[in-house]
Amino acid sequence: MSIIIKKPSDIKSSEITDQSTYLNRRKFLKQSTALLGAAWAGRIAMPVEAKGNDFPGVIKSSFSTTESINTLKEITSYNNFYEFGTGKRDPAKNAVNFKPRPWSITVEGEANKTGVFDLEDFINPYQMEERIYRLRCVEGWSMVIPWVGFSLAEMIKKFEPTSKAKYVEFTTLYDPERMPGQIRRVLHWPYTEGLRMDEAMNPLSFMAVGLYGEVLPNQNGAPIRLVMPWKYGFKSIKSIIKIRFTETQPPCTWNVTAPKEYGFYSNVNPEVDHPRWSQRTERRIGANFWEPKQETEMFNGYADQVAHLYTGMDLRKYF
């Protein structure tokens, strides 16, 4: 399998999104720390300068796909985020009053640098990038989303994991008053996810804090989430409050809830069906109903970048 990757300089605005739409988006961040903090605190509207897609402080990533991007409305109105309800339209309705500030992230476990970090202090050291990734969900639908954020590998390096750190675990906020979906015990709360360390250090692994040049919307995982483009969407945990480096494989919410349906790895694999439906095809959100479904690609089309991580593994057993 292969995926076409262009250099940042080769990507035209017309390939990224409708220019008139993008130029009317809010600018994700200013270069000054003060204004960045104000944006997170108040989610203020920031004017976009007429410079195409050249936003200050944000670079175009060479990892981006050249596929057509979904609209902002599609991306923000059709979501899986059980903390705000089990329906696809629930998060957009139920997360309206969620306030992702103040926010802190705890880093603990097998690392030399641990502690509690304010969001701004947590994200400021990293180079912000825009990465256009395909998101494939286990139910059979997909989107292409222009995320803004930074490399997970670079973040991990800052905390200096020890030789005992074989895995990294992520935890979502647990606060039923702010996340009403957590009142129902449909899942084991708080939501947790985990990666093997070599997966986390892969160049494709990404921490998103925005999309379409805007601060990340509540229903999409504000204020910070993981994005793992070769895995099913539920692995890309949202609203992260804790990161823990571990020597043993951490429990993952869907794997604990239904181990025969959701494996630890959860790599996109058309050859391994979900027990209740096939994974061989997918429908892009926004496509006309009469259009044929797309064939699902191994590792969601990113095989060239990640297949080596699973050499010698039985991907039916380690699904």
Domain boundaries, the chain: 8-310
At 151-173, the pLDDT tens digits run 999 999 999 999 999 999 999 99
At 262-278, the pLDDT tens digits run 999 999 999 999 999 99
- Contacts of 259 by beta carbon, 8 Å cutoff, 6+ apart: none
The mean per-residue pLDDT over the stretch 99-119 comes to: 97
pLDDT value of residue 22: 43
Q: Where are the alpha helices (DSSP H) in 19-98?
A: 19-22, 33-42, 72-77, 90-94
CA-CA distance, 232 to 134, in Å (whole number)? 10
Nearest CA to 299 out of 279, 285, 284, 283 is that of 279
Long-range pairs for 250-253 at CB < 8 Å and ≥24 separation?
Answer: 250/167, 250/169, 250/192, 250/194, 251/192, 251/194, 252/192, 252/193, 252/194, 253/187, 253/188, 253/191, 253/192, 253/193
Q: Is residue 40 scored above 60 in pLDDT?
A: no
Q: Give the pLDDT band of residue 38 (cuts 50, 70, 90).
A: very low
- Give the dihedral of Cα atoms 216, 221, 224, 230; nearest 10 deg: -100
CA-CA distance, 309 to 36, in Å (whole number)? 36
pLDDT value of residue 289: 85
At 241-254, the pLDDT tens digits run 999 999 999 999 99
Q: Is the C-alpha dihedral spanning 273, 278, 279, 280 positive or negative?
A: positive
Residue linked to tokens 């571990």: 246
Q: Both tokens of residue 247?
A: 């020597």
154-179 b/e (C-beta count within 10 Å ≥ 16 → b): ebbeebebeeebebbbbbbbeeeebb
Q: Report the mean per-residue pLDDT for the chain.
A: 86
CA-CA distance, 220 to 51, in Å (whole number)? 26
Q: Give the pLDDT band of residue 65 (cuts 50, 70, 90).
A: very high
pLDDT value of residue 269: 98
At 284-318, the pLDDT tens digits run 999 998 899 999 999 999 999 999 999 999 999 99
Q: Where are the alpha helices (DSSP H) in 32-135?
A: 33-42, 72-77, 90-94, 119-123
**What CATH architecture does domain 8-310 belong to?**
Alpha-Beta Complex (3.90)
pLDDT value of residue 156: 98
For the chain, what is the radius of gyration of the CA atoms?
Answer: 19
Q: Give the pLDDT band of residue 56 (cuts 50, 70, 90).
A: low
**pTM score > 0.85 for this model?**
no
